[in-house]
Amino acid sequence: MKERIIMIGANGQIGSELATALRSRFGAENVITSDIREPHASREDEIFEIINVLDKSALKRLFEKYKPTQVYLLAAMLSATGEKYPQKAWDLNINGLLNVLDLALEFDIKKIFWPSSIAVFGPHSPKQNTDQYCVMDPVSIYGVSKLAGERLCEYYHHKYDLDIRSIRYPGIISWKTAPGGGTTDYAIDIFIEALKHGQYACFLSANTALPMLYMEDAVRGTIELMDAPSEQISIRSSYNLAGLSFTPAEIAEEIKKILPNFEMSYVDYDPRQAIADSWPASIDDSYARNDWSWEPKFDLASITEDMIANLKTNV
Ligand code: AKB
C-alpha cells in the first residue's frame, strides 16, 4: 500500500530530522509536514501546512485534503516550559492527542506515532534500569500529561484496535535543530557553549545522571518501531528506550578530550534540577530489544565527536 504521512509539530527537534528520513524513504510528495509556525527553511518539493493541533476542524480539513495513512503527532510542550504554563501544557499535550486519536478513527488511519518520555517516571520509580512496568508518579505536568497520554493510546488500541505506537524518549542529543524547553537540553547547550565560549555554566549538578539518546539512533529506532509487524508490538502504551546514561561531569570530561581548554561550572539553583532528580538515571529497554530488535549505536565518545565535528561549522 502506498503510504501518505502527515506529521504534526514537524518544526521541532525530532520532527525536523524524522521528516527528512521519512521523505527520503516515502518520497517528498508523500510526507506532509505541519506546525503552528512556518519552518525556518524548506525545500521546494516539501509540502508544508500551518496547523494548530488544538483546532480540530482545521485538522479535519487537513486529513480530508491529504487522506493520510499514517500520522506522526509530535506537537508537545516539554518539561521545563510546561512548569511555566501547566494549563497550556496539559491542553496541548492531551487535547492535541485526543483530537488526533478521534480523527484517526474517523479517517481510518492505519498507523499513528506519538512520543512519550522518561518524564512519566517519578521519585518512587526505581532509579537504575527503570523497568517498563513499575511505580510511575511523575512530578512535572509534562510527565503527568505524557502518562495520561500513554493510557489514552492503550485505551484507543484496546477499544478501537487503533494501531498506535510510541516511545518514551530520553533526552535527545542533536545538532541540527535546537530543542525547546526541556530538562535534558543542557546536553546540547554544553556543546554550543564549549565551541562558542570555551565554557558552560550547567543548570544541573555534576552528578545528575540521565538517560540520553543520539538523534541518529532516535530516528532509526522510531522508524524501526513503525516498520515492525503489528503482532510484534506488545506495548501499546509506550516503549522504554535506552541509548546511554551520563552525568554533566562525565560529558564535560569527554568534551575536554577534544577541547582541552573547556571549563565547566555549575549554577547554584535551577528549577530543572528538581525535575531531573525525579527522573530515572538509566532505563531498562528489554521490551523494545525483544519485540523489534532495538539496539542503540552511539556512545558518549562517538556522540561527542560527531556533535563537535558538526557544530564546529554551524555555530
Ligand atoms: C525534556 O527534557 O523535557 C525532554 C524529555 C526527556 O522528554 N527532553
Q: Where are the domains of the chain?
A: 5-170+215-240, 172-212+243-311
Residue 247 scores a pLDDT above 80 = yes
Taken in order 132, 189, 214, 281, the sign of the CA dihedral is: negative
Cell of 178: 535546537
Report pLDDT for 214.
Answer: 98
Task: Say yes or no: CB of residue 121 within 6 Å of ligand 1.
Answer: no
Task: Say yes or no: CB of residue 212 within 6 Å of ligand 1.
Answer: no
Rounded to whole angstroms, how far apart are CA atoms 200 and 253? 13
- C-alpha torsion angle, residues 119, 124, 130, 136 (rounded to 10): -50
The answer for 132, left when phi > 0, alpha when psi is -120 to 50, beta otherwise, is alpha
Average pLDDT over residues 214-220: 98
Distance of CA 257 to the CA centre of its chain: 29
pLDDT tens digits along 71-111 = 999 999 999 999 999 999 999 999 999 999 999 999 999 99
Known catalytic membership, residue 155: no
Which among 184, 185, 278 is the best mutation to test ligand 1's pocket, defined by most ligand atoms within 8 Å of the CB?
Answer: 184
pLDDT tens digits along 1-41 = 799 999 999 999 999 999 999 999 999 999 999 999 998 87
Domain 5-170+215-240 has CATH 3.40.50.720: yes
Q: Which CATH number does the domain 172-212+243-311 belong to among 3.40.50.300, 3.40.50.10800, 3.90.25.10, 3.40.50.2020?
A: 3.90.25.10
Please report which confidence band the pLDDT of residue 315 belongs to, taking 50, 70 and 90 as the band edges: confident
Q: 44 alpha carbon to ligand 1 midpoint, in Å? A: 32
Cell of 7: 506529521
Which among 14, 78, 81 is the best mutation to test ligand 1's pocket, defined by most ligand atoms within 8 Å of the CB?
Answer: 78
pLDDT tens digits along 124-139 = 999 999 999 999 999 9
Catalytic residue of the set 66, 85, 133, 142? 142
